[in-house]
Structure 1
Amino acid sequence: MITVAGCGRMGGPMLAALRVAGFDANGFDVRPVDQAGVTDDLASLYDETEILITVVRDITETDAVLFDDQCFASAPCLKTIIISSTLSPRYVRALRDRVPPHITLIDAPMSGAQIAAQEARLSFMLGGAKADLDAAQPLFDAMGAHFHRMGNFGSGMQAKVLNNLLAASNTAMTRLVLDWADAAGLDERKLLNLIHTSSGQNWFASGFDSIEFARDGLAADNTIGILVKDVQSALDAAPEGADLSLPQMVQTQIGQLTPRK
């Protein structure tokens, strides 16, 4: 049995895609979730889980799923853990020394926002041994459309935090540009259409109408808040001696976003 831990904006659609594809998949979330196959009773999944996909919010929640009393790292049938949350690459690589050696570890963070998860066209950044990734590929095929094998375990997460640093930069600057356009009396839709076909083109601006968090301000439980966390994960994995001023500025800008009408 496959268990998806964390059935929110991303994990919920990922679980649904696995079930549609015919996999024996269930979900766990600490909150009550109104979705087929999802429970808040971890014990009911513990004995039968063979593959665990974690899509929880952060390191604290990942530790809780893996290592708290009767949690999955010691589950009797567990063979594979797939880390799909966006976390510090340093933390992810260190899991190899904390998880029993008979359990395969794959890092598979994803990109595309909720809309891509709902349409099963996520982009996965994969880290792990080739044989392990080959064995798990049918799962990724069910949930995604683009697969980037980046190297050994931990490489997928390193690539993801760098990708998300760019996404955060695009988010911060696009929102600033739209605010300045408002002040200048420019029409938002006309400007976004211009950006889409011009040198300022970026994922956030081009997907502004479909990205669920495009108009959000910062909140602890939303995607803007997650972007702040993701930039911190990138900073945690920065090369020694790197200039952190620009990423830190992006993080500050994201953290100051207010809702856009």
Structure 2
Amino acid sequence: MIGVAGCGRMGAPMLAALRDGGTNAIGFDVVDKDAAHIHTNLMQFAPHVETLFSVVRDADETDTLLFGDQNLMQTAPNLTRIFIGSTLSPRYVRDLRARVPDHITLIDAPMSGAQIAAQNRTLTFMLGGAQADIDDAIPLLALMGQHFHHMGAFGMGMQAKVLNNLLAASHTAMTRLVLDWADAAGLDQDRLLALIATSSGQNWLASGYDSIEFARDGYANDNSIGILVKDVAAALDAAPPDADQSLPKVVQSTIRALTPRH
């Protein structure tokens, strides 16, 4: 049986895609989702799971799931494969290999595309792991996504993801600033976004402004802007020892200061 832990903005549509694809899949979340196949009782979930997709928020929740209060290392005796889908520090992810029993296959499989891509089953996966393990995983991942990039050994998928999200955070910060300045100048937002889509300023947030769920949000700890702030921190944790971190830190503080855009 396949289990999805963390059935929020990303996990819930991923679970739906797995179930619609004909797999025997169930979910687990600490918040009641009012769905018969998503459990809040761990013991209705853990003993049945053989393949786990972990899509919880951060490293603390991952630790709780795998080793802490939920402790799937003990409560899921049939577990043989784990996909780490959350965006976490690559350093933390690499260290998981020494903490998880050797008989359990570990694949880092963070996703890109936001909630809209999860709902449309067009996610992009950045993958780290042995080639044979990745080859075996692709048919399952194809139920949820369209693009699969094997970046190297375990941990390299996460390394690629945090660098990708660092760019996404910079696009978010600058696109929102540009739109605010356009407002002040009396420039029509829709016309400007149409221009950006066909010009040198083109970027993912601007091109998907009407469909990306967090494009107009302000910062909150539990929303996608808050998660993006967390993702920049994950990138900074994996920065080269002598790297200049000043620009990523400015981007992080800028998106933390965002207010809702109407």
TM range (shorter): over 0.9
Q: Which structure 1 residue ranges, 5 or more long, are not aligned?
A: none
Measure, in 1, the Cα distance between the counterparts of 2:36 and 2:125. 24
Q: Which residue of 1 aligns with 2:17?
A: 17
Q: Which residue of 2 aligns with 1:58?
A: 58
Measure, in 1, the Cα distance between the counterparts of 2:35 and 2:210. 26
The answer to whether structure 1 residue 35 and structure 2 residue 35 are counterparts is: yes
Measure, in 2, the Cα distance between the counterparts of 1:86 and 1:168. 13
1:138 to partner: Cα distance: 1.5
Q: Is the 8 A contact 1:46 1:71 kept in 2?
A: no
1:34 to partner: Cα distance: 2.8
Measure, in 1, the Cα distance between the counterparts of 2:71 and 2:25. 18
1:228 to partner: Cα distance: 0.2
1:119 alignment partner AA:
N
Q: Which residue of 1 aligns with 2:239?
A: 238
Q: Is the 8 A contact 2:170 2:251 kept in 1?
A: yes
Q: Which residue of 2 aligns with 1:169?
A: 170
1:256 alignment partner AA:
A
Measure, in 2, the Cα distance between the counterparts of 1:9 and 1:105. 23
Measure, in 2, the Cα distance between the counterparts of 1:229 and 1:167. 13
Q: Which residue of 2 aligns with 1:215?
A: 216
- Root mean square deviation of aligned Cα: 0.8
1:139 to partner: Cα distance: 1.4
Q: Secondary structure at the match of 2:142?
A: helix
Q: Which structure 2 residue ranges, 5 or more long, are not aligned?
A: none
Q: Secondary structure at the match of 1:142?
A: coil
The answer to whether structure 1 residue 121 and structure 2 residue 139 are counterparts is: no
Q: Which residue of 2 aligns with 1:45?
A: 45
Q: Which residue of 1 aligns with 2:92?
A: 91
1:69 to partner: Cα distance: 4.4
2:14 alignment partner AA:
M
Identical-residue share of aligned pairs (%): 69
Measure, in 2, the Cα distance between the counterparts of 1:37 and 1:202. 37
Q: Which residue of 1 aligns with 2:5?
A: 5
The answer to whether structure 1 residue 194 and structure 2 residue 195 are counterparts is: yes
Measure, in 1, the Cα distance between the counterparts of 2:207 and 2:73. 40
Q: Secondary structure at the match of 2:143?
A: helix
Change (3 A) 1:69 1:182: closer
Q: Is the 8 A contact 1:10 1:114 kept in 2?
A: yes
Measure, in 1, the Cα distance between the counterparts of 2:14 and 2:35. 12
1:35 to partner: Cα distance: 3.5
Worse overlay, 5-14 or 135-144: 135-144
1:48 to partner: Cα distance: 1.4
* TM-score (normalised: structure 1): 0.98
Change (3 A) 1:176 1:40: same
Change (3 A) 1:157 1:47: same
Structure 1 residue ranges, 4+ long, deviating more than 6 angstroms after superposition = none
Deviations 1:10-47 (A, max 9, x none): 00000000000000000000000133511111111121
Change (3 A) 1:6 1:225: same
* TM-score (normalised: structure 2): 0.98
Measure, in 1, the Cα distance between the counterparts of 2:147 and 2:141. 9
1:156 alignment partner AA:
G
1:209 to partner: Cα distance: 0.3
Deviations 1:85-117 (A, max 9, x none): 000000000000111111100000000010000
Q: Is the 8 A contact 2:64 2:70 kept in 1?
A: no
Measure, in 2, the Cα distance between the counterparts of 1:182 and 1:87. 36
Q: Secondary structure at the match of 2:147?
A: strand
Q: Is the 8 A contact 2:97 2:106 kept in 1?
A: yes
Measure, in 2, the Cα distance between the counterparts of 1:108 and 1:127. 7
Worse overlay, 70-79 or 169-178: 70-79
The answer to whether structure 1 residue 26 and structure 2 residue 26 are counterparts is: yes
1:40 alignment partner AA:
T
1:71 to partner: Cα distance: 2.1
Worse overlay, 109-118 or 29-38: 29-38
Q: Is the 8 A contact 1:192 1:205 kept in 2?
A: yes
Q: Which residue of 2 aligns with 1:105?
A: 106
**Equivalenced residues, count:** 261
Q: Is the 8 A contact 1:86 1:109 kept in 2?
A: yes
